[in-house]
């Protein structure tokens, strides 16, 4: 009973205890979960929303370029889930932020345009070149809000067209504010899908941010699954119909040729009245029908009233050459 442990035996005991604790902690590793930010939509649906807004960006760059008559670049930066309070904290102040109605759905979305974009656009709409000579960090006036109505209508039109792949949503502006904290249309902990889009106009760079309530998007989950699963086959049918419409109106140059022997140009120039030119082409041999310079059919020459015609026998094949 009076035996003392050596230092090596003591170290071995502690190492054994630490190894068991590591195994126990590794087998029961806990994952953090924030109940204030529940994940309302699946990642597959989030990827579908990303693709939907990617199409929206491609249409928007064409529409804005034509509307402003200026070259610009539009890029989709991110699509992610946030709480509404976190979304508002990411927005600059002052800014131009609008509440959007989502008929026939109950609820509101948010559309925000940075001041660094608003004032260059106003400069272009008023006949300028978009290069500002003043500080743009100020609130927009009521007159400037009226000038931006056409811009918002254009953005909402393209947004409406992009969402038609899933469902029909009538986006409409309800109110416009200049301070993000004044637009309390959702609870601070409510989850939203935030879409960040970068817009470059000349030397000016700014962000356009869109936020839609996750609970509304979750209601569309079945429509997302139906539309995006059938989109490939639907696009294939549409593509076939489009190609057929193009082919129906196309024109081809057709000619029937007698493939006879070659003749020197000097012999052709020395021909005189009474000379006989032999083509060495039997009457029973079929003639070739050329479409745009390529042999496609073989057949025979026939009479169609007072005109000569070509009767198709069969399609041209390599063995007939």
Q: Residue 305 sits in a domain of what CATH number? A: 2.30.330.10
The reply to whether 296 and 222 lie within a common domain is no
The reply to whether 73 and 146 lie within a common domain is yes
In angstroms, rounded to a whole number, what is the distance separating the alpha carbons of residues 217 and 228? 14
The reply to whether 212 and 67 lie within a common domain is yes
What's the whole-number average pLDDT of the chain? 80
Share of the chain residues as helix, strand and coil, in percent rounded to the nearest 5: 40, 25, 35
Model confidence pLDDT, tens digit, residues 31-80:
565 555 555 677 777 888 888 899 999 999 988 888 888 888 899 999 99
Average pLDDT over residues 282-302: 80
Model confidence pLDDT, tens digit, residues 114-126:
988 888 888 888 8
Work out the pLDDT band at 112, boundaries 50, 70, 90.
very high
Given a cut of 50, whether residue 319 has pLDDT beyond it is no
pLDDT of residue 320: 42
Total of domains in the chain: 2
192 and 83 Cβ atoms separated by less than 8 Å = yes
Q: Residue 51 sits in a domain of what CATH number? A: 3.40.1550.10
Other Cβ atoms within 10 Å of 297 Cβ, number: 19
Q: Which residues touch 217 (CB under 8 Å, ≥6 apart)?
A: 40, 41, 45, 49, 193
| 27 lies in some domain | no
Least confident segment among 44-58, 98-112, 199-213, 303-317: 303-317
Work out the pLDDT band at 23, boundaries 50, 70, 90.
low
pLDDT of residue 220: 79
For residue 188, which of 89, 80, 49, 43 has the smallest C-alpha distance? 89
In angstroms, rounded to a whole number, what is the distance separating the alpha carbons of residues 38 and 29? 21
The reply to whether 180 and 75 lie within a common domain is yes
Model confidence pLDDT, tens digit, residues 191-243:
899 999 999 988 888 899 999 998 888 887 777 666 555 555 445 677 778 77
Average pLDDT over residues 261-279: 81
Model confidence pLDDT, tens digit, residues 157-175:
999 998 888 888 899 999 8
The reply to whether 84 and 212 lie within a common domain is yes
- Cα dihedral value 267, 273, 276, 281, nearest 10: 80
pTM of the predicted structure, to 2 decimals: 0.59
Average pLDDT over residues 26-32: 56
Given a cut of 50, whether residue 260 has pLDDT beyond it is yes
Q: What angle do CA 144, 145, 149 make, to 5 degrees?
A: 115
Average pLDDT over residues 137-141: 80
Highest-confidence range of 80-94, 228-242, 250-264, 283-297, by mean pLDDT? 80-94
For tokens 């539009």, what's the residue? 74
Work out the pLDDT band at 318, boundaries 50, 70, 90.
low
Work out the pLDDT band at 183, boundaries 50, 70, 90.
confident
The reply to whether 182 and 310 lie within a common domain is no
pLDDT of residue 56: 92
For tokens 């041999």, what's the residue? 285
Separation in Å, CA 265 to CA 182, 183, 258, 269: 90, 88, 18, 6
Range of the domain at 286: 254-270+278-320
The reply to whether 151 and 258 lie within a common domain is no
Work out the pLDDT band at 292, boundaries 50, 70, 90.
confident
Q: What percent of the chain has pLDDT above 70?
A: 82
């Amino acid at each position: 009973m009076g035996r003392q442990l050596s230092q090596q035996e003591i170290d071995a005991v502690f190492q054994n205890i630490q190894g068991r604790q590591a195994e126990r902690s590794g087998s029961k590793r806990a994952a953090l979960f924030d109940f204030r930010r529940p994940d309302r939509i699946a990642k597959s649906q989030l990827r579908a929303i990303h693709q939907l807004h990617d199409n929206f960006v491609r249409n928007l760059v064409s529409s804005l370029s034509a509307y402003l008559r200026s070259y610009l670049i539009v890029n989709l930066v991110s699509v992610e889930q946030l709480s509404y309070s976190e979304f508002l904290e990411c927005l600059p102040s002052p800014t131009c932020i609008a509440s959007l109605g989502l008929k026939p759905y109950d609820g509101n979305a948010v559309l925000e345009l940075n001041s660094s974009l608003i004032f260059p656009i106003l400069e272009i709409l008023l006949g300028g070149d978009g290069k500002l000579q003043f500080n743009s960090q100020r609130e927009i006036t009521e007159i400037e809000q009226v000038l931006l109505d056409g811009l918002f209508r254009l953005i909402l039109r393209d947004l409406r067209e992009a969402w038609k792949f899933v469902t029909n949503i009538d986006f409409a502006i309800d109110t416009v504010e200049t301070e993000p904290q004044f637009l309390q249309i959702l609870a601070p902990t409510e989850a939203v899908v935030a879409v960040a889009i970068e817009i470059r106009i000349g030397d000016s760079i700014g962000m356009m941010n869109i936020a839609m309530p996750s609970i509304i998007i979750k209601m569309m989950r079945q429509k997302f699954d139906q539309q995006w699963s059938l989109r490939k086959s639907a696009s294939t049918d549409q593509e076939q119909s489009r190609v057929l419409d193009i082919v129906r109106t196309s024109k081809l140059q057709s000619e029937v040729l007698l493939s006879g022997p070659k003749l020197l140009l000097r012999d052709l120039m020395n021909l005189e009245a009474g000379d006989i030119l032999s083509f060495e082409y039997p009457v029973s041999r079929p003639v070739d029908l050329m479409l745009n310079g390529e042999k496609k059919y073989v057949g025979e020459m026939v009479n169609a009233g007072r005109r000569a015609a070509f009767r198709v026998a069969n399609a041209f094949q390599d063995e007939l050459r």
